[in-house]
Structure 1
Amino acid sequence: MRTFDSFGHQIYLVGGCVRNAVLNRPLSDIDLASDALPERAMEIASEAGFKIIPTGLEHGTITAVANEVAFEITTFRRDVATDGRHAEVVFSEDVKQDALRRDFTMNALYCDAKGRVVDPLGGLKDARDGVVRFIGNPDDRIQEDYLRILRFFRFTAWYGDPALGLHQNGLAACAAAAQNLDRISKERIGSELLKTLAAKDPAPAMAAMQASTVLGVILPGADTKSLPLLVHLDSEYPPDPLRRLALIGGQDLKENLRLSKVQDTQIKLLRSSLQTPLPELAFRHGVQFALNAALIQATVLEQPISASLDSVLTTAASQVFPLKAADLMPNFQGPALGEVLRVAETYWIKTGFQLSAQDLADWCRNGGAKDAD
């Protein structure tokens, strides 16, 4: 930033990093905006010794690498045409014009190298008050990019004040434009929904998403009515969006949200494990999976979480099945041997992991495996 200042150009930190800094929240990506045209920005950064990557020159963005950290620098822009997903832009020298093309007032915050916040649109007060407000006319902002419908709910979940509820004009605009979400890729939809569910308490925003028909458009069959209870029960644990998604359900999650194979398998397994004892889940799938299942089970059954849950799951996950194939030979051979081992393992789990290899071998030879099966 000092380098750009020295060449007489405006340059600001912009967007999420400024918003989170004023809210004392953790920062992730640090983006910058400048009045320098892309080619000039490349010249300045190169002259200062930074590695330059022409990330998106047509959109005014270059990437400067400093100490192996990448920083995007984007020229001030204003939109001249949009199609609901992509915008045609022209470059500008006016920071306010750049602010006007952003989505929410709290994201239109800029900060100079001396730490002074530039707030062209009143976003600082909105950020501090927990108001997620579209810039200007919400209908216009949404028509510029329909993904902003989902971003409205995500930012409300993360930054909105629950006591205020959702901004009514924004909510109405999202509901009115919900059917246009089919123009957005399912990968982007899935990413936004998972980010929303990763908030500390996404229940109010998700309930509003369902009431406004937005959730039904992107994930038919999903139901958020039990989500507040799950959020209450899992408040002592790190938020897990897949746990919450497994609870609200929906049709063909993998296809509608473009989930990975691993994510889809975990959700299907969670939803099919409601009747499985928790120690068995911990032993077979690990503590975290069993914890997720326990929280979903407690939500569905409307029961509290046991104070000893963590200890029970940790103990179960650490167990090692003592019986080996050699312990049962030659009494059992081939496919029958594998089946007896499977039944014996289930029996060992049900009896609290207490039986020794000898106990289990005797049980199998005495017909226990056959009787249990």
Structure 2
Amino acid sequence: MTITIKDIANKANVSITTVSRVLNNKKGGIGDETRKRILKIIEELDYSPDSIARSMKTKKTKSIGLIIPDIRNPYFPELVRGVEEVANKCKYNVLLYNTDGNKNKELESLRLIKENKVDGIIFTSSNPGTFNENNKYFIEKDSPIIFIDREPEIESYSGLFLNNEKAGYIATKHLIDLNHKNIGCITGPKQIQNSQQRLTGYKKALNDAGVDVNEDIILNGDYQMQGGYEAAKRLIENKAVTAIFALNDLMAFGVYKAAQEFDVQIPKELSVVGFDNLSFNELLTPKLTTIDQNVSNMGKVAAKLLLKKLGSGGGMQNKSIYLDPKLIIRESTTFYKIASSSFKLRRSKNFEKTSNI
């Protein structure tokens, strides 16, 4: 049997309005004894207010939608945690949608969010065209939106992003300062803007140092460990590089795996820089040098931006915040000395051995 507010009012011998005032913690007009009696009956009947009915009156659901591309990537659970921490403190629920980076799933997530009438949205997209000028009005008029990590291809929006070009620059400059010239780069997916921005920073650092950009050692990755592993194998097999800049930490883990297979020592024979500073980086041996963007804090700031926008009735002017990256130097990079011929020969032998498997 479903308990209603009318049942409580009848049992307490008060009006429905009085019970409603108690449930909503309204002060005045109700004696202490009456309030205590109503609260005791609510507890005895194990009554829970109908959030859907309440939202119909207030037009607020106290919930936000969070759309991410890949829950398996350790970057995103840290982001989710940051969003939830702020949202929960403000009594908001977080509805999580995982899209696997699929455009159709992103569109479906936006549709479901609109149906569920969430108060606002935080969105990380893998497909720049998903959110466009055509659907912007119909979504934002009901649910203000904050973009995070990846920028959309629309004219005006609010979001929180890292200065990815600067990050790519300082990561590459670190390797150049360590006397590396042949620096391989494993990119993220071509359609993701932050990957292109990091690549731009990589190329700019080389140009500023007077080092030619070698397109042959810039390989496409997918922000997954396997993609980093496959690309690193090619770079190591071809004896083409002394250092690798992987545009996220997961791909850097793949570089470690490839180096181990080819018996290449990090950093003595191959320096490696990652990107994200995931929480378990320090568990690697050697510990990974990487770009820190404080992912959990990004989630917190994005949630605060959205709640501020909701507090303004969604009318707050669109603006984006760009955070500065920080290079965390650990043990996976070192000064480059010309490799011995025995090292080159060993890599060739390992290549032959791997090719025969």
- TM-score by structure 2 length? 0.23
Higher helix share: 1
